[in-house]
Amino acid sequence: MRIITTTDALAAFCEEARRHDYVTIDTEFLRERTYWSKLCLIQMALPVGPGPGTTGQAVLVDPIAGADMSMQPLYDLFGHKHTVKVFHAARQDLEIFFVEGGVFPEPLFDTQVAAMVCGFGEQVGYETLVKKIAKENLDKTSRFTDWSRRPLSVAQMDYALCDVTHLRVIYEYLAAALARNGRQMWVEEELQVLTNPATYTVHPDDAWLRIKTRTTSGRFLALVKELARFREDYSQRQNVPRARVMKDDALLELASTRPTSYEDLGRSRLLQREGRKSDIADGILAAVKAGMEMRPEDMPKPDLAREQMQVNPALADLLRVLLKAKSEQLGVAPKLIASAADLDAIAAGERGVEALRGWRAEAFGDDALRLCRGEIALSAKGNEVRVVVL
């Protein structure tokens, strides 16, 4: 087991990785007490094989013990186009590297995405793939450990390395499966979302869109927008979780009660002690004032079109049957292809939904539109549902 704590050692490993077709990568991090994830450990492993240099070297890169270590050699490896960077459920890992280094791995392979289009179900976990593909069992005792504490125990290090050593077998299996079924482009389309900076960028002005509310009052939404803008900006600047400033239910309560003083804030049932401190309290009161003073023409507009959407229930049911038939035929989880909301939207006449674009159009969307236009019908024979051209 090798632990890397210096820039030179990291550069040497990354130089070796550039000679291989792929390298498996995972991270351990903490986010419970911060807005941005705190990187605690990086695990990497090289292929195992009969050729020279394919001994399967695996390392732990420790940015805490190596506080002066530069990550630039790793970022340079990320840009090396002849070595595939393999992750499982890469979103949070990629967010860390994008926030800290402004880079994305290229080319990228996510075994969770690949497994979903290869028939392993929706958002399949790493443990499941290890058991089904690598035929191994994971030791889960270190799963909820504090990765920021040093020294790391042998059990912690063994657990961390398993996240990249078994990943080699899983990657090779799934890469071969994609080559056989011709769905590489499906995976690449999904990965475009993971390597889009917009996926990891939350602008304070847009933070209100993430808050669920059934109220359509323009003034109420203006208050929600200003309160969410303050919370997002404060959380990012101070690097504290949003919930430490105020939780969503407290934010909605404040948008309803419209406090104008510390005394009013003190009467809030849901605002936590942290939210009553002067800098946060001042921000809340200022946000409420801004929401109350917002001009009607500047107020957020609810998505009335979707709320007033006229869904054809019979057509929506037929689309569900078609989706089930297509997903079973392809061996792909139905929810990966289209959500229940997508089906209702299609049945209501919307044509901008995700299920009608890209690989989903090929898998389901094109036939869904033909069904809506009356060009095909569905028939049942035994347990099988068939598409019939009219």
Mean pLDDT, each 10-residue run in order, the chain (390 residues): 92 97 97 93 92 78 96 98 97 96 97 94 90 90 87 94 96 97 94 94 94 90 98 96 95 97 92 87 97 95 63 93 93 90 93 94 96 93 85
**pLDDT at 25 (0 to 100):** 98
* Strand, coil or helix: 244: helix
Closest CA to 108 of 11, 10, 199, 39: 199
Provide the residue ranges of all domains of the chain, joining segments of one domain with +. 2-200, 204-302, 306-389
Does 306-389 match 204-302 at the fold level? yes
pLDDT value for 308: 56
Torsion, Cα of 84, 88, 94, 97 (10° steps): -70
Q: What is the CATH number of domain 2-200?
A: 3.30.420.10
**CA dist., res. 96 & res. 103, Å (int):** 10
Q: pTM of this prediction?
A: 0.89
User: Following DSSP, what letter does each residue of 123-140 receive, concatenated?
Assistant: T--HHHHIIIII------
CB 292 within 8 A of CB 258: yes
- Rounded CA-CA distance 64/70 in Å is 12
Residues paired with 379 in a beta bridge: 386
Cα three-residue angle 158-163-169, rounded to 5 degrees: 115
Look at residue 305 in the predicted model and tell me its pLDDT: 45
Phi-psi region of 119 (alpha: psi -120 to 50; beta: other; left: phi over 0): left
Q: How far apart are CA 335 and CA 50, in angstroms?
A: 40
**204-302 is a CATH 2.130.10.10 domain:** no
The reply to whether omega before 105 is within 30° of 0 (cis) is no
Helix axes 340-347, 313-330, angle to 10 degrees: 130
Per-residue model confidence (pLDDT) at position 302: 76
Whether the CB-CB separation of 267 and 275 falls below 8 Å is answered with no
The third-level CATH classification (topology) of the domain covering 306-389 is DNA polymerase; domain 1 (1.10.150)
